[in-house]
Amino acid sequence: MNNETASSSAVVENELGDVLSRVERPPPSGPVAASLTLGWRALLKIKHVPFQLIDVTAFPLMSTLLFTFLFGGALAGSPQQYIQFLLPGILVQAIVFITVYTGVGLNTDIDEGLFDRFQSLPIWQPAPLVGALLGDVLRYSVAALMVVGLGIVLGFRPEAGVVGLFAALALVLVFAFSLSWIWIVVGLLVDTPESVMAMSFLLLFPITFVSNIFVDPKTMPGWLQTVVSVNPVTHLVDASRGLMHGSVTPVDVLWVLVASALLVAVFAPLSLHMYRKER
């Protein structure tokens, strides 16, 4: 009887040997590897949805050209003079607007059922959120470089040189990363990607246009100057202009870094909590 059992076990093992792998299962990926993989996935989505490139390329370039030539002569005497003032601000506006697509992408994944598939995988659970942010930071960088490149063609010359220019770019990216957590929360709250867009632009239009992006606040009425002075975008633009032109004050940079840290401290735990509740 024992011989028959052993023989049967050997037959089953031989039959399954062609189906089951004998190689030891690899260990689960860690937080960094999972986040980078899902960040790469976020970039690959552009290949299948080329329309996403419009927001990274056409919109920033069009904004830079339009505002430079529409307002340059009236506000600064010439487009070349105005671009020295405008470019740091238009850079901030372009990147701030693009941050909304973090929430749009997350909401789309939820709508298509990918959200449930990610949560069923044996990976670090925040990896889909962190990966999406990492992929978007690269998109922000592409948009920023295109705006700066066009600005240089139009005559922009940063007085602080390359070091100041890249310091300003880094500061804008830090703020954009922290701001993106807000849109993750919105993406988890609403039902459709269109709702994410609608809610985001209700906030983004006022805070970008009621700021010092296009004109010096000194030309505004007193009550509006007060509103502009407490706008976080105003502080980010001041810091970016200062870094690019060598007139930065540490208070402006510190304000942006503190605001960025507060946004992450509030909205990152909130978004992760909401993400887990969806399981």
Task: Write out the chain's pLDDT in tens, 279 residues.
Answer: 455 554 555 545 555 555 555 666 666 666 777 777 777 777 777 666 666 677 777 888 888 898 899 888 888 888 889 999 999 999 999 999 988 888 888 888 777 777 667 777 777 777 778 888 888 888 888 889 999 999 999 999 999 999 999 999 999 999 999 999 999 899 888 888 888 888 888 888 889 999 999 988 988 898 999 999 989 999 999 999 999 999 888 999 999 999 999 999 999 999 888 877 765
- Residue 263, Cβ neighbours under 10 Å: how many? 18
d(CA 237, CA 230): 12
Matching residue, tokens 């970008």:
208
Q: What burial class does residue 121 get, using C-beta atoms within 10 Å of its C-beta: 0-12 exposed, 13-18 middle, 19+ buried?
A: middle
Nearest CA-CA partner of 105 in 161, 36, 55: 55
CB 275 within 8 A of CB 188: yes
HSE-up of residue 42 (Cα within 13 Å, Cβ side): 27
Q: Is 181 in contact with 125 (CB distance < 8 Å)? A: no
Report the alpha-carbon distance of residue 172 to residue 230 in Å, rounded: 18
The torsion defined by the Cα of 129, 133, 139 and 142, in degrees rounded to 10, comes to -160
Delimit the domains of the chain by residue range: 29-277
**pTM strictly above 0.75:** yes
pLDDT at 147 (0 to 100): 92
Q: At what angle do helices 161-189 and 193-209 cross, to 10 degrees?
A: 140
Q: What 3-state class would DSSP assign to 126? A: coil
Q: What's residue 157's pLDDT?
A: 92
Q: Which of 266, 231, 32 is nearest to 126 (CA)?
A: 32
pLDDT at 13: 53
What is the widest separation between alpha-carbon atoms in the chain? 102
Return the CA Rg of the chain: 25
The answer to whether the beta carbons of residues 82 and 71 sit under 8 Å apart is yes
Q: How far apart are CA 128 and CA 131, in angstroms?
A: 5
pLDDT at 125 (0 to 100): 74
Q: Tokens in use for 198?
A: 């609608």
Token output for 90: 């238009």
